[in-house]
Amino acid sequence: MNLPPVRKVFEGVADRRQMFRMFDRHVQRPDRWEGGDSALYRGEWFEIGQAEHDYMFEVLPPLWMRGDMFAMGEFLTGSITSVFFSLTIDGRSRYFHGYCDVLDRSSPAQMRNAIVERESRPVRAMTREERLEHIWSATNDDYRGYADRRFPTGQRGKRVVMMCASWQARAFKLLDQLTDAEIGTKLPVHLRYLPDVIAA
């Protein structure tokens, strides 16, 4: 799986319930206990509210603090841990969570710069990849998963979401093979008509 080095995985401000769900968006992955998950999480980020940011600051002593960011002392996998950001963008205070590899000392600063660049765009827009990531993040675990033996060998282990043509016709489809029309039906109304942008 070729993933962008830093990627937004949810559009909007995640509330506390959404934040905790997205801390492990890949909990259903079939090889969860085999290790080697760092690349799956490294670079994921999303926006949270100030209350969620402050709550996480008070949960455990941070691993480190650097001006506008702090890292959690508990690691998700390997050297990947949560880094929380308090940033001023276009004169407004905003808060973010991201997964950084602390073995790469430049990783948190690179993520901060990517977040500021992405969120400073003059026009609100989403890339196709951001739309797919939002669908994955917002879909209930019962309606998403990973391709199993019902799929051809080359597709097994890839992310799938349930498609409902009707109550009688439900089937799973590979997330990265959704058509633009299918993406539109899975996005909330307020996100369906945002313009497309080319991924940086």
List the chain domain ranges: 7-119, 128-192
Which pLDDT band holds residue 82 (cuts at 50, 70, 90)? very high
Distance CA 12, CA 21 (A): 15
Tens-place pLDDT, residues 43-79: 999 999 999 999 999 988 888 998 899 999 888 888 8
Spatial CA neighbour of 84 closest among 94, 24, 200, 17: 94
Average pLDDT, the chain: 84
Contact 149, 156 (CB under 8 A): yes
| Overall average pLDDT of the 101-119 stretch | 92
Q: Which residues contact 185 (CB under 8 A, 6 or more apart)?
A: none
Q: pLDDT per residue over 156-199, tens digit each? A: 888 888 887 555 556 888 888 888 888 888 887 667 656 666 54
Identify the pLDDT of residue 32.
66
